[in-house]
Chain A
Amino acid sequence: MSKISSILIANRGEIALRVIRACKELGIKSISVYSDDDNRSIHVKRADETYRLGPSQASESYLRIDKILEIAKSSGADAIHPGYGFLSENDVFSDECKKNGIIFIGPTARAMELAGDKMKCKEIMKKAEVPTVPGSDGVVDDMGLAVEIAKEAGYPVMLKSAFGGGGRGIRLVNDEKELRQEFELASNESQAAFGKSALFIEKYLTNIRHIEFQLIRDSSGNGRHLFERECSIQRRHQKLIEMSPSPVVNKEKREKVGEIAVRASTALDYLNAGTAEFLADAEGNFYFIEINARLQVEHPITEIVTGKDLVKLQIHVAQGEELPFKQQDLELKGSAIECRINSEDPFYDFAPSVGYVPNCNIPSGPGVRVDTYLYPGCNVSGYYDSLIAKLITYGGDFYEARIRMKNALSEFTIEGINTTIPIHKTILEESNFVNGNISTDYIEKYNIIEKMKHKRDQEYKDKAYAAISGILLQSEFVKKSYSGQRIDRSQKSMDGGFF
């Protein structure tokens, strides 16, 4: 296979920027595409070339396979990187790329189809002796059948989109009434986001951890795992905080489950980067749940603890190269944490918050990495996912990484929208989190929302006098400007002279 010299990035936001950076490192031309709402976005500004895709709705832009391929061909792109979300796990897209002679940087359509179909995947895993979650089997597209299955499994159950990913379209229902209400919503959501609607039902287990293993496999069949990521801090099954290593995985466990993860990727004849997701119970049993056939949002923490650049590796594997390391060459060093900064109001049931960001301050310093599309004067669009930044910190151990995260969060200011920063600040100090005592129901179990509100009230008290001083300064300003004193509008700073 020939070397890739230009890549079209069929995505937006921080992940598009991440891929652009990898392209620049490798001397590859980067080509971005944008929707109307994104015409001032960072991926438009940073790519070597940029092309308009269409109107703002994802279905009219980032999900348009025909338009993306048309631009790829006319701009002379050798390869397409799909990022995560959008078309990243769409087997038709992967196949269409191949048919058009364009390298798809990701799994083959076949592997993707198997991985994406959670039920078929489960079957294959059972044959490969990979332990899976006990529970339902089969896709449910009928409400009556859904009610029956849920009753048999026993409430609460999870309603999942078979083609979904990233937690969207997953709903927890506690009784039949809720199931009937949510089934329709989840089905519509799946239809809108992925163009297909097929749901399945799984028994909801409690006090469990979500732990996943990073995988990469080349076209010669060499598969490696790049250790685990602990992703148990979630809200409504959406990851909020991830870390590597996990506080409950020792060297022995890591090797054992890592080997199972590689076996799972072999069973699917998987290609390129992917993730094997497991649920771990209190006794330390790991159950395979699915393979995410894409680069994960939380890939940076793995990059940090392994010293491997996953996006560059993806490109190397896509152009047919063999992986340059063996399993025993890999070593997990230090500790890394990622906080997902979403444009949501954590004080208002995480309602989406969108709009203009007049100013922001991106944290920096020792052990800090920020992957974001924010810049002062940018716009946060309501058409796409709410992830606006990934704040990653690392250190020699968890303690150092955590303290750096605490400091970095206090440096991170974003004006104009609400974000999840307050909940992260609360969690980073909470004693159960500090001691590694976490599970997927952590937020509810330890009343994190209440603790966050309490912390905010304290912050209000701390800032009260300064805020009031600001109000008095402004009323003084207004008074003076009405009393005839001339204000030079062109001069922004009026230090000294005015007051």
Chain B
Amino acid sequence: MSLSFPASPTDGQLYQSWIFNAAKGVWAPNLAAQMVTSINGQKGDLGPTVVPGYGQLVRLSNQVVSSPVAFVAFTGITGAYDEYEIRFHSVRGGGDQNLMLGYSADNGATWNAGLTCTHASTIGASNGTPTGTGSGGAVGVLISPPIYNNSNVFGAHGFTRFSNPASSVFSKTFFGLATSISLGNIQYSGAFGGQVAAIFNAVRVICSGASNITDGNFSLYGVVK
């Protein structure tokens, strides 16, 4: 067998494709070269596929508030992840209210019904006063210092994690950190923890007092187990 190549390959040509014709017993240029168009069903940019490893955060949902809402809800929470995390930033409200987390066992149809929530928090201020601690609260769990009104250029930032939402064995504990700055440029930072006994499949972020959330970015993450 012998092969011959075109006398003048084009500049930059990387390869040539040939096909063997068994009936004629000859090789011929393969004018319709078979090109790889997908790998494992992935087309387009065939860069390396990133598979999240253990402990990595996977963003499951993102919600951006730009007009007043009473609350922001994430539904469809399952046992796919042992631990979830809600991150929020640039959150402001119609009034100076804390953010709290509510739970639903029926995917958001009703909230906190039959769920026993407890919480504990410690809030400090950059000017030393006021500082506050709190506990109790059967209707929700505190997750931030006051988010302050919508004329404030600062928004509240923070996260809260909760674990085992679908477990009938473990209690659903959560903890988080958050900070906010008042119009008087006093920064409040707090640590927030709590627990919910019952299984739940949706959560909502809502103001602890009579106020809407006017701005903010909320994301739900799952921690790969």
A-B complex is real:
no
- Residue numbers of B with Cβ under 8 A of A are none
